Amino acid sequence: MDRLLIVDGHAYAYRAFHAIRELRSPEGKATNAIYGFVKMLEKMRALTGPTHLIVVWDGGLSAVRMAALPEYKAQRAEMPDDLRLQLDDIVAYLDAIGIASYCGAGIEADDYIACIARRAAETGMSVVIASSDKDFMQLVSLQIGLLNPNDKTETIWTDQQVRAKTGVEPYQIVDWLSLMGDTVDNIRGVPGVGTKTAADLLKRFGSVDNLYRHLEDVKSDKLRGALRESESIVRRNRDLVRLHEVACEFLAANLKPRPVNAARLRELFARWGFKKMLAAVELSAETQVVLI
């Protein structure tokens, strides 16, 4: 079966940047995020064995989400300059090794990733999304799995791992996050409702809609009152948390890795001072010449 690996670009760039504290090119420019991203991508490809691959980048915040919640993601710090200046080089590396990447103006990476994943699954492809973002748990199905870099077991998550992590099914993740909120995205939930309470409510009532239809069945006066007062917030949260449909054209042929541009790769590795990687490319070229 064909397998598509979709990588959350900014998530892994940030992860690489913070994992390697200091690395600079011969010219003195930061290269820690580039180096870490290259090594992480190599590891992901070896682990998942994809026949198709794309790296997706954030193109800005969703106008729809911002209209619904102006403070959406407002608490996030600005990207460090040393990281921002490395992103174009990471994209240049991807182009040199023949890997597709995408960044759409005003399109959040999460939404585009969801769109591509669904389209690929509809064609019968197996899909792996590489990201630690919990929003992606809502996509998990028989054909879509998650590779969470925080999971040291390197397991591709199915509904089993989602249940173990959250206490709910993948199709309940939107309601689960809507009840408890998401501090990472600056989305507040029902006061006093955390991961366990949200899971317990959904185990009993199945969904937010059914919960509010039977709110009088919630035994705790305090919890029932908090839920009643927060109903509009919970329903708004569902639209914030749910991964939106965006314009995406899925053509499997465009996501199949192209031949490596060895000359361009040598140029990049030399400029960044990646001596071992440069030597490996040169050795590969020499081997090919001998074989010919």
pLDDT tens digits along 127-174: 999 999 999 999 999 999 999 999 999 999 999 999 999 999 999 999
Using the predicted structure, report yes or no on whether residue 244 has a pLDDT greater than 60: yes
Q: Which DSSP state fits 24?
A: B
Angle between helices 32-48 and 87-96 (to 10 degrees): 40
- Tokens coding 15: 């992860």
Please state the domain extents for the chain.
3-162+246-276, 170-241
- Tokens coding 246: 């965006």
Using the predicted structure, report yes or no on whether residue 77 has a pLDDT greater than 90: no
CB 192 within 8 A of CB 226: yes
Total-model pTM: 0.93
Q: Measured between alpha carbons, how far apart are the two ends of the chain, in Å?
A: 32
For residue 67, what pLDDT is reported? 94
For residue 285, what pLDDT is reported? 64
For residue 286, what pLDDT is reported? 54
**Which CATH superfamily groups domain 170-241?**
5' to 3' exonuclease, C-terminal subdomain (1.10.150.20)
CB 250 within 8 A of CB 2: no
Tell me if domain 3-162+246-276 and domain 170-241 are identical in fold: no
**Which CATH superfamily groups domain 3-162+246-276?**
5'-nuclease (3.40.50.1010)
Burial 14-25 (b: 16+ CB within 10 A, else e): bbbbebbeeeee
Indicate the residue type of 216. E
Using the predicted structure, report yes or no on whether residue 292 has a pLDDT greater than 50: no
Of 89, 91, 88, 39, whose CA–CA distance to 277 is shortest? 39
Residue 98 CA to residue 71 CA, distance in Å, equals: 38
